[in-house]
Chains A and B, each alone.
Chain A
C-alpha cells in the first residue's frame, strides 16, 4: 500500500505555479478569518478579568496573566475530571466505531429482510428534535444500576447521535465495488472474515470521521454527564467541571476562555493525529 501511494504521488500532475499561489492565498486568508475568533479567545484567557472588555479589539493584551488557568485548574478539579473524560471518550469512541461500522456495512451492502424498515426508522428518528433525552436516558442508566459510574457515561455517550455515522458508513460501503467481496469469497473467506480483512480496512476515511466527531461530542457533552453523576461527582468529566463559569448573575469571562482553551487542546490533538488519513488516493490504492 505504501508503494502504490508513492507511485500514485509521483505520477500526479502538478498544477502550474500561479494556480498554486492563488489557492494558497485563498486558503491563508480564509484560515485567518476562521481562526481569528479562536485566537481572540485564547489570548483573552491570558488577560486579567478587568481588561477583557477594555481591550476588545486588541489581540495583544497589555498585561499577561496565568491566573485564569490556575483558577480554572483548581475549580474544575482538573486531575480527576480530565482522567474521567479521557476514559469515557476513548471507550465511547471505540464502542461507536465498532457498532456503526458493522451495522453500516450490512445496511450499505445487503438487502436483508427488514433492512428498509430499519433504515426508515433510523432516518426518521433523527428528524425529530427532542425536547430532552435527559430524563429517559437517566431512567435507563438508573435501571442498569450504572448511575454515577464511568461505564454509565460511556454507554450513554455511545448511545448518542450515532445514526449519523451509521448513514455515513452505509453510504460509503455501498460504493465499494462487488469484485472485492467476491474475490474474498472465492479465497474462502466467511462473512466475518470478509468484513474484517477486506471491507473494514477500506472504511478508514469514515472511521477517521467517526473518531474525530464522536471524540468531540463525548468530550464536550455537558448535560448528560452532569445528571448521571449527580450522586457521584468523582466520576464527572471535564466539560461538567468547566461549565461552572457562567452563572445566573455573574460570568467569569476570562475563566470561560481559559477553560475553553484547555478543553480544546485534546480534541485538536486527536484531529491532527487522525486527519492525516484523509489523503486522496488511499482508497484508490487499496482498490488497485
Chain B
C-alpha cells in the first residue's frame, strides 16, 4: 500500500513537471479557433497551412464540433473566461445576447475600414453582425435559401418525366418513380432523423402553397394567431402524407440524418432531396458522376413563393483573448483574396457563396451551383420581426418554445408516427400564440407587432412596406 502511494505521489510530481515543461515550450502563440464549418474543412485546413507559413509567430489550433457539442462544452468555458480566441455565435443565440454577455471584442478596433469595405453591401448589417452600430462578428457566407430541391436527372429521364412544377405533379412524379424503380430508387428522400431538416422542408412547402409562415425559429403571426394550422399548412401536410402513403418516400427516411440522405441521393436511391447549397461541394468531391439539377420547391398555389433566409452572425474575437491582434490577422487572411484562396476555393467547390466583392463572379464555375444560385434568386423577402423592432431579439431570447414543435410534427408526418397532424398543429398554434404573447409582454413589445397586415403572400416585402406600417 505504502509503495503504491509513493508511486502515485512520484507520478503526480512527474506529471506536474511535464505540465510545466510543456507550458514553457510554447514558442509561437497558439490561436484557438472553434466552429462547425465542416463542409469547407478541406479548404480551411489548406488555408491554415498557408496562414501559418506566412505567419510563423502564430500556430492555429482548429477544432470542429457540432453545434450541440459547442453549446454543451465550449459555452461553459467562454462564460468562465477560458473560451477560444475565435468562435462563432451559436445558432441558438443571437448577436444581441452574445454582446450583452460580453463575449466579443468590437471588430472595428482591429480591422481597418479598407478591409471591411471588401464585404458586399448589406452583409455587415445592424442587428445581425452589428449591435448599436458596433461590428462584432463577420458572416461566414452569403445567405441563400437552404430549401431548394435537388433532382436526379437520370432517374427523371428513365421514367420519362419532366421536372414537376406543382404539388400534384410532384406527388405523381414521386409515385411513378417509385413504381418504376421497384426497389432500386424512390421518389423523395430526407434526413428525417434531424428535426431541423423536416422543419425546413415543411415550411418551404407551406410557403409554396402560398401560406404566410416565418422561416425556421422566427416568429410571425397572421390575424393575431400563430399560423401553423392554416389552409396552406393543410395543403403541405396532405402532400407529405400523400407521398408517405404512396410509399414514395425512401423507406429509411425516418431513421437517417441529412448526411446519409445526401449520400443515398448521390447513389441514385431517390429522385428528389430538399437541401442546401453545401451538398454541391460534397458531391463534386465524392460523386462527380452524379447527374443532377436544382429546382425551386413545387408550387401548391399560384401565389406560392420561396422565402429568403435571414442572415446570421458568425465569427468574432473573444473578449478575453490574449492575442486580439493575431486573431484579427486571422480574420483578415480568411477573407483576403490576394494572398489567400479560401474565399475562391469555397465558391469554386460549390460550398458557399462568398460575402466578398467580386469573388462569386470570378469563381462560380460549377454549373449546378449557378443553377442553385439562380433558383435561389427567385426567393423573395418576407417580413422579419427584428427589422421592424430590434427588441424582437430580446423576444427570441425570452420566448419558450412549445413541444411538440412544428419540426417534431413534420418529423412525425414523415415517420407516420402521427395520424392526425392537423390536431397537433392546431394545439401548437394555440400554445405558441400564448407563449409568444407572454414573451412579448415580458420584453415590453406589443404582440400585434408580429402581425404584418400589408403582407401579401407571394409578393416581396420591401422597405417601403415596413415604412407603411408605421
Contacts and interface: CB of A to CB of B under 8 A. Distances in A.
Interface string A39-77: 000000000011001100000000000000000000000
A246 interface: yes
Contact of A235 (B22, B36, B69, B264): B22
B82 A53 contact: no
Interface string A156-198: 0000000000000000000000000000000000001001100
B32 A230 contact: yes
Interface in B32-82: 32, 36-39, 41, 61, 63-67, 69, 72-74, 76-77, 80, 82
Contacts of B278: 249
Interface residues of B, number: 47
Contacts of A149: 15-16, 19
Interface string B64-106: 1111010011101100101110000000000000000000000
Given A192-B1, A232-B22, A227 B15 contact: no
Given A250-B38, A250-B259, A196 B1 contact: yes
Interface stretch (A16-24, A116-124, A133-141, A273-281): A133-141
B270 to A, nearest CB: 13
Please provide the 3 A-B residue pairs with the shortest distance between their CB atoms, ordered closest to farther. Answer: A247-B38, A248-B36, A149-B19
Contacts of A196: 1
Interface stretch (A25-33, A91-99, A203-211, A257-265): A91-99
B80 A231 contact: no
B16 A151 contact: yes
25 contacts: A53-B260, A53-B267, A91-B8, A94-B7, A95-B8, A134-B72, A134-B76, A142-B82, A147-B82, A195-B1, A200-B1, A223-B73, A226-B73, A227-B76, A230-B32, A230-B73, A230-B82, A232-B22, A244-B64, A244-B65, A247-B66, A249-B39, A249-B278, A250-B282, A251-B257
Contacts of A54: 267
Contacts of B8: 91, 94-95, 98
A87 interface: yes
Given A151-B16, A249-B38, A138 B267 contact: no
Contacts of B36: 247-249
A53 B263 contact: yes
Interface in A206-254: 223, 226-227, 230-235, 244, 246-251
Contacts of B22: 232, 234-235
A139 B259 CA distance: 36
A202 interface: no
A107 interface: no
Nearest to B61: A233
A139 B80 contact: yes
Contacts of A98: 1, 4-5, 8
B41 to A, nearest CB: 7
A94 B73 CA distance: 27
A227 B66 contact: no
A142 B80 contact: yes
A98 B11 CA distance: 15
A250 B39 contact: yes
B114 interface: no
Given A87-B15, A98-B4, A231-B82, A246 B66 contact: yes
B287 interface: yes
A7 interface: no
B43 to A, nearest CB: 13
Given A87-B15, A138-B76, A227-B76, A248 B82 contact: no
A93 to B, nearest CB: 11
A189 to B, nearest CB: 13
Nearest to A234: B22
Contacts of B38: 247-250
B232 to A, nearest CB: 29
A31 to B, nearest CB: 27
A204 to B, nearest CB: 15
